[in-house]
Amino acid sequence: MEKYGSLMNLIDGMASDFLFIDGREIDVPTAGKLLNNLDELIKEANSQKVFQLKNVAGGLNSLLEKTILDDIDDKEASFNVLEKGIALMQEIGESFKNTNGYEGDIESFMESIVALTGDQLLEEVVEAYQEESQPAETIEEIQDDSLLRDFIVEGLEYIDEIEVNLLNLEQEPENLDCVNAIFRPFHSIKGVAGFLNLETVCDFAHILENLLDRIRNKELSVTSRLIDIILDGADALKALIIELKENMEGNPGEPLEIDLPALKKRIENVEQDVSDAVEVKRLGEILVEDGAITEENLEQGLEVAQELTPPKKIGESLISEGKVTPKQVSQALRKQTKQVADTAVIRVNIKKLDDLIDMVGELVITQAMIRQNSFILSNSDIRLSRDVSRLSSITSELQRTSTSLRMVPIKQTFQRTSRLIRDLSRDTGKQVGVVTEGEDTEIDRNMVEEIYNPLVHMVRNAVDHGIDSSEERIKAGKPEKGLIQLKAFHRGGNVVIEISDDGKGLDRDVILKKAVEKKLIDSSQDLSDQDIYKLIFLPGFSTAAKVTDISGRGVGMDVVKQAVVKLRGKIEIDSTINKGSTFSLGFPLTMAIIDGMIVRVGTERYIIPTTAIRQLLRPVKKSYNNIIGKGETINVMGNLLQLVRLYKIFDIEPEHKNPWDAIVVVVECENSSKTLMVDEILGEEEVVIKSLGESLKNSKGVSGGAIMGDGNVGLILDPEGLFELSEV
């Protein structure tokens, strides 16, 4: 019958392939061919419902696979079974062709296959195979220094690549190309590390590779937790490779501080979708581990301890039983605490943290209200006074601690920026190096994202407009490769981020010309260098000769300015032509609290951010001047600073109208200083900033409100806005 013709063709093909095998062992290419034929045969037999044939072919398929995988020691036997199997299939095929069925028994044949392949589970098979395939004798023969050196250099490059791709992956969690691009370097590092006998590196790269493989197979989904773990993993791998480098160069650095087991545990947890709980061993377990007691002692001890009324702790009961010495228990206890200290990192939802910080803010205010309550102030009970002052010191400590919870190092932001610079330098064809400094400087977690965008703009500008081309640089006697420096540090209550380039520098004449052309300023205005540099922050200003993809649509810098102002920060520019420019961004450490000086004007109270205050003074009469064209000024140590009468701006009735009766606060803002006239200084306080709400959000001169110690609201002054108001 024609019906089973296709089956017969396949089987006969296999039989003839088999005939040409020389020796009694199956070689890889023939096995490949046979496997493909068996696959097709299984499909065909299934669709034509020749199930005996399907079973035999399935058995042979598995036998053949295992034979290739070296799982079957007796190659001769498997060859024989295969030979028999093909003959059996021919028999079944023939029988179907002639009688449309097969009466024979395939059971005994199937048993002979199972006898060879065994009932091993897949995992065991793979494991056994791996063990066998990794030769026991080490591979010292190829272990030479130049290879190791190459590995270190290439390995570190690969890890950089991993970092970049991880960030891409975070943007596009579904992108398999990204996953592959991360998988591959781990895989390559593992491979070479295996040859070079670098067990730790090899093992760890292998674990990370497996993790990526599971993502690739969609067994795990990409979450920020997963990305964090892989980033940490990459960092650890980097540290391991750097350690190799240091050892090779003969100057071993500090011993590594990475906790590989903890990292492995986190990987395990993420794979099993378990949260990273802190596991602490029980005291009894530690005692058993230390060999102080046996398991039986422990069980007995536990029973005894529970029977006692009141129940005793295990340590106590073991001591009273004489099983352990107090010293052993105290040692074990110390170990237990150390365990907690070693692994005491937990993840907290940022929302919870924000709530906590808000609540602490409220607590601080309430505490201040209690402290300033007239009953408390007038009370003569020493104990109450002492308790109240203790309450306030605890609350401010609590506030400091809770705020610090939200602080993170700026490192990651810098890394992202460095990568961006690298990409930009490639896109523009300019050679640019990056140096970072102060990566450990901490900023409020909530500011990280907000800071990143202005940073991106500035860096783009630095690469596109700042750094000159190689030819220009060589002509100017500078190194061919440009350099961008990113620095972060704390100054006063601010965190400062500096972006410097060693490029062309800002050309004041070009800026001035452009600004006049664009009618942003009047050509007759006399401006200082600083004032001119600041023109680039005006909307609609762009000095780029041509619009590029990277920057140059003239929206960049004014966006930067807005973003920075929104964060209560400021920008300063320092530039020397042909030497380069430095943009420094200063931000308050946190958006939640402000250190303020409380001042009174008439019956109103205002808060001036302490960071802006340079000096407080009561001017003498002769230091006051009213010069035509310059307005009212106060002479502060030889500088004539403009006098701002706060009561005029806020339209209230002051106590004093003469500056020499009042107090002036010297306030610095954006490279200029002015003096604010107030009636009285009431003191200094840390206040929690409260927004004034949507409708008052854009009030100039006021950046927010704060609930003061006595429960009343004070307005927080915004020096920059005040300066602008005073100039109208």
Which listed residue (65, 203, 259, 531) binds another protein by CB under 8 A?
Answer: 65
Nearer to another protein, 126 or 547 (CB): 126
Nearer to another protein, 174 or 177 (CB): 177
Measured distance CA(546)–CA(558) in Å, rounded? 18
Which listed residue (141, 440, 449, 526) binds another protein by CB under 8 A?
Answer: 141
Which listed residue (5, 16, 24, 27) binds another protein by CB under 8 A?
Answer: 27
Q: Min. distance of Cβ 253 from another protein in angstroms? A: 23
Which listed residue (12, 13, 15, 35) binds another protein by CB under 8 A?
Answer: 35
Nearer to another protein, 187 or 371 (CB): 187
Measured distance CA(437)–CA(417) in Å, rounded? 13
Q: Min. distance of Cβ 169 from another protein in angstroms? A: 16
Which listed residue (8, 15, 31, 405) binds another protein by CB under 8 A?
Answer: 31
Measured distance CA(42)–CA(62) in Å, rounded? 12
Per DSSP, the residues of 377-431 read HT---HHHHHHHHHHHHHHHHHHHHHHHHTEEETHHHHHHHHHHHHHHHHHHT--
Nearer to another protein, 24 or 327 (CB): 24
Choose the binding region for another protein from 141-149, 301-309, 448-456, 504-512 (rule: CB under 8 A): 141-149
Nearer to another protein, 213 or 595 (CB): 213
- What is the DSSP-derived secondary structure letter of residue 324? S
Which listed residue (90, 112, 188, 548) binds another protein by CB under 8 A?
Answer: 188
Distances (CA, A) of 501 to 423, 454, 490, 518, 563: 16, 16, 21, 27, 21
- What is the DSSP-derived secondary structure letter of residue 554? S
Q: Min. distance of Cβ 125 from another protein in angstroms? A: 6
Per-residue binder mask for another protein (CB under 8 A), 99-138, x = binder: -----------------------x--xx--xx--xxx-x-
Provide the pairing of β-strand 639-645 with 624-627: unpaired
| 248 touching another protein, by CB under 8 A | no
- What is the DSSP-derived secondary structure letter of residue 651? T
Two tokens at 676?
């604010």
Cα angle for residues 718, 720, 725 (degrees, 5° grid): 95
Backbone angles phi, psi at 494, to 5 degrees: -115, 155
Which listed residue (36, 372, 393, 639) binds another protein by CB under 8 A?
Answer: 36
Q: Min. distance of Cβ 9 from another protein in angstroms? A: 19
Cα angle for residues 71, 76, 78 (degrees, 5° grid): 55
Q: Min. distance of Cβ 198 from another protein in angstroms? A: 11
Measured distance CA(557)–CA(573) in Å, rounded? 12
Residue for token pair 């024609």 = 2
Which listed residue (19, 114, 115, 139) binds another protein by CB under 8 A?
Answer: 139
Q: Min. distance of Cβ 126 from another protein in angstroms? A: 6
Which listed residue (15, 68, 231, 391) binds another protein by CB under 8 A?
Answer: 68
| Other CB atoms within 10 A of residue 340 CB | 11
Which listed residue (40, 154, 160, 259) binds another protein by CB under 8 A?
Answer: 154
Tell me which H or E stretch contains 15. helix 5-19
Which listed residue (19, 114, 115, 147) binds another protein by CB under 8 A?
Answer: 147
Q: Min. distance of Cβ 101 from another protein in angstroms? A: 32
Q: Min. distance of Cβ 128 from another protein in angstroms? A: 9
Q: Min. distance of Cβ 548 from another protein in angstroms? A: 29
Q: Min. distance of Cβ 455 from another protein in angstroms? A: 30
Q: Min. distance of Cβ 146 from another protein in angstroms? A: 8
Which listed residue (96, 109, 151, 650) binds another protein by CB under 8 A?
Answer: 151
Nearer to another protein, 176 or 359 (CB): 176
- Who contacts 690 (Cβ-Cβ below 8 Å, separation ≥6)? 704, 705, 706, 707
Instruction: Tell me, letter by letter, the H, E, C secondary structure of 662-720.
Output: CEEEEEEECCEEEEEEECEEEEEEEEECECCCHHHCCCCCEEEEEECCCCCEEEEECHH
Measured distance CA(559)–CA(620) in Å, rounded? 43
Nearer to another protein, 213 or 316 (CB): 213
Two tokens at 576?
């020397």
Per-residue binder mask for another protein (CB under 8 A), 345-374, x = binder: ------------------------------
Nearer to another protein, 109 or 183 (CB): 183
Q: Min. distance of Cβ 237 from another protein in angstroms? A: 15
Choose the binding region for another protein from 144-152, 501-509, 655-663, 693-701 (rule: CB under 8 A): 144-152
Per-residue binder mask for another protein (CB under 8 A), 190-229, x = binder: xxx-xxx---------------------------------
Q: Min. distance of Cβ 197 from another protein in angstroms? A: 8
Please choose, from the candidates 15, 722, 14, 709, the residue with its C-alpha nearest in 3D space to the C-alpha of residue 366.
709
Measured distance CA(619)–CA(599) in Å, rounded? 17
Nearer to another protein, 17 or 228 (CB): 17
CB 488 within 8 A of CB 496: yes
User: Is the link from the previous residue into 310 a cis peptide, with omega within 30 of 0?
Assistant: yes
Number of residues that bind another protein (CB under 8 A): 42
> Using alpha carbons only, how large is the chain's radius of gyration in Å?
38
Please choose, from the candidates 552, 549, 544, the residue with its C-alpha nearest in 3D space to the C-alpha of residue 423.
549
Choose the binding region for another protein from 150-158, 223-231, 444-452, 496-504 (rule: CB under 8 A): 150-158
CB 424 within 8 A of CB 550: yes
Q: List residues near another protein by CB under 8 A.
A: 27-29, 31-33, 35-36, 39, 65, 68-69, 122, 125-126, 129-130, 133-135, 137, 139, 141-142, 147, 150-151, 154-155, 158, 180-181, 183-184, 187-188, 190-192, 194-196
